[in-house]
Structure 1
Amino acid sequence: MRLFKVYFLPVALILSFSSSTHAGSTPLTKIEKILVHEGDRVFIKTVDYLNPPDCAKEIKEFAIDVSTNTGKAMYSAALAAASQGKQVEIHGKHGCNYWGDREDINVIVVPF
């Protein structure tokens, strides 16, 4: 039992400081704007946006690469939520690889 206590706390601390906890995210919020851009990119602006990475602090929007199946699924989820007035929760990747000033999306949650 003592061995469990000795190793549990350090592991819990390491996991709590993973890079995904520092990525941008939204609480449950509405999508304010969806912009489909040439070059297989879609940009999403939400009402709320917490902790954007430095590269996205000015624009405060998210980017999706719709050339991939995952990107197409994310775009479909965002479009469905926006068209129905549903709130979404978005978690970013803490980077702006798809577009220089918009954070890449890691997860879109659409609660129904």
Structure 2
Amino acid sequence: MMRTILKFAAMAWCVVALPAHASDASSGTITQPQATQNGAVIFMHAGTRTAPPSCGAGYATRWVVDASTVQGQAQLSVLLTAYALRKSISIHGTGTCSIWGDTETVGILLVNE
């Protein structure tokens, strides 16, 4: 009985822990940053991208950060610094379009040297 409970708990944890399909974008430059009134900052990225989640498939080169949160403000700082210095960045997405309904949310930004 205990073994069955442990197996069920492990399977449930795996289902909960697995994120939606997150995409990645390799080294590329940022263009067209736009700030919206709700704190969303949308931008285009010129890097090669793996398949975006279905919610963001219509805008495959577009990403978004939420500048209304502390975490989003940190991402925005990195983003705008890279934009101002014309540095390329790489992106790992969250697999969701939680900030802007048709654009994948940024999980991690990496400034390339």
Match of 2:88 in 1: 87
Q: After TM superposition, list the pairs within 5 Å mapping 1:57-76 onto structure 2.
A: 57-60=57-60, 61-76=62-77
Cα distance in 2, alignment partners of residues 47 and 71 from structure 1: 21
1:52 aligns with 2:52: yes
Match of 1:106 in 2: 107
1:39 aligns with 2:38: yes
Match of 1:4 in 2: none
Q: 1:33 to 1:50 in 2, by over 3 A?
A: farther
Cα distance in 2, alignment partners of residues 39 and 65 from structure 1: 8
Secondary structure of the residue aligned to 1:71 is: helix
Structure 1 residues not aligned, in runs of 5+: 1-13
Percent of aligned pairs sharing the same letter: 26
* Root mean square deviation, CA, Å: 1.6
Structure 2 residues not aligned, in runs of 5+: 1-13
Which structure: greater strand fraction?
2
Cα distance in 2, alignment partners of residues 87 and 111 from structure 1: 6
Match of 1:30 in 2: 29
CA deviation after TM superposition for structure 1 residue 27, in Å:
0.5
Instruction: Give the TM-score normalised by the residue count of structure 1.
Output: 0.77
Cα distance in 1, alignment partners of residues 68 and 37 from structure 2: 11
Secondary structure of the residue aligned to 2:51 is: coil
CA deviation after TM superposition for structure 1 residue 19, in Å:
3.9
